Amino acid sequence: MWQRYLAEFHQRRPGITEAVLSRAYCQGGTGYEWLFEEVPPAGRLLDLACGSAPLWPALGQQCYLGLDISPGELALARSRGAGPLLLADARALPLGAESVDTVVCAMALQIITPLPTALAEIRRVLVPGGRLVALVPDRRPLHLIDPLWLGGLLGALGRPIGYPNDRALRRRLPQLLDAAGLCLADDRRRRFAYRLGTREDADLLLSSLYLPGVSAARLRAAQRWLNALVRVRADLPVPLRRIVAVRL
């Protein structure tokens, strides 16, 4: 169910994840910029599940390859001059063993299933000592007011916002990495803030959420709640987790 939902979602809304994360800030920077801090400045780099290639402008000076399973996302990336790009599955990378120095993966490890297969492929294509730098959504940190804003949104939706690999990433990440031949080197969380300044901001945020099976009535209720937050110019939290792992 998830794979079909995701394929249709990204074909209809290419670039939506980038559009939201590019407007969510912490200490004046975006999550993408936070990710860049752990990316080595040179070497062969694979942008895994690259989407619309938001990382390409900063990483394009390296030996860059973007890979994604969505034709719609890759078409948008190509239209912006990103490349080279490859339509392929993260669970069966069409690359040779030990062929890249760094794998970056922004906002995808939480939805690629089975996760152990993807991690094993990442390890296979990395050189010894090569680095995986990934960004995934998380539940913390939060500010004191955040549960009120989020509680209203989740109440309107009638369900939590979750991803297939949430539990594995929260509870078993070191073990999963170890089983794949990777060693967790750094694991940090940071709260980014998405300002609800206009109704367009609210609509963009709602349209970016993975909500399979949520009814139109629930979506309208969530839209009303977000529009109410626009009136107070609320900052909705976007907690992110940055993971760095090294191939053994």
Tell me, yes or no, whether 45 lies in a domain.
yes
Q: What is the pTM of this model?
A: 0.95
147 part of a folded domain: no
**Helices within 48-90 (DSSP H only):** 56-59, 71-79
Residue 131: inside a domain, yes or no?
A: yes
How many folded domains does the chain comprise? 1
The whole-number average pLDDT for the span 106-116 is: 97
Inside any domain, residue 229: no
- Residue 62 is predicted with a pLDDT of 75
- Chain segment 150-167, per-residue pLDDT in tens: 999 999 999 999 999 999
In a domain, 204, yes or no: no
Using CA atoms, how far apart are residues 141 and 170, in angstroms rounded to an integer? 14
Q: What is the pLDDT of residue 1?
A: 77
Sign of CA dihedral 229, 234, 236, 237: negative
**Does the residue 8 lie in any domain?**
yes
Residues 6+ positions from 242 with CB-CB distance below 8 Å: 34, 35, 38, 133, 134, 135, 186, 187, 188, 189, 190
Q: What pLDDT was estimated at residue 59?
A: 81
Domain that holds residue 114: 2-142+163-195+238-247
Nearest to 85 by CA among 65, 102, 108: 65
pLDDT higher than threshold 80 for residue 20: yes
Domain holding 91: CATH number? 3.40.50.150
In the predicted model, what is the mean pLDDT of the chain? 96
Task: Give the pLDDT of residue 168.
Answer: 97
Q: Is 154 inside any structural domain?
A: no
Confidence class for position 61, pLDDT limits 50, 70, 90: low
- What ranges make up the beta strands (E) of the chain? 24-25, 44-48, 63-68, 85-87, 100-106, 126-137, 182-195, 235-247
- Render pLDDT for 119-135 as a digit per residue (tens, 0 to 9): 999 999 999 999 999 99
Residue 174 has pLDDT above 70, yes or no: yes
Distances (CA, A) of 240 to 101, 139, 231: 24, 8, 26
d(CA 153, CA 219): 10
- Residue positions counted in the chain: 248
**Residue 200 domain-assigned?**
no
Where residue 66 falls (left for φ over 0; alpha for ψ -120 to 50; beta otherwise) is beta
Return the pLDDT at 178. 98
State the Cα–Cα distance between residues 87 and 131, nearest whole angstrom. Answer: 22
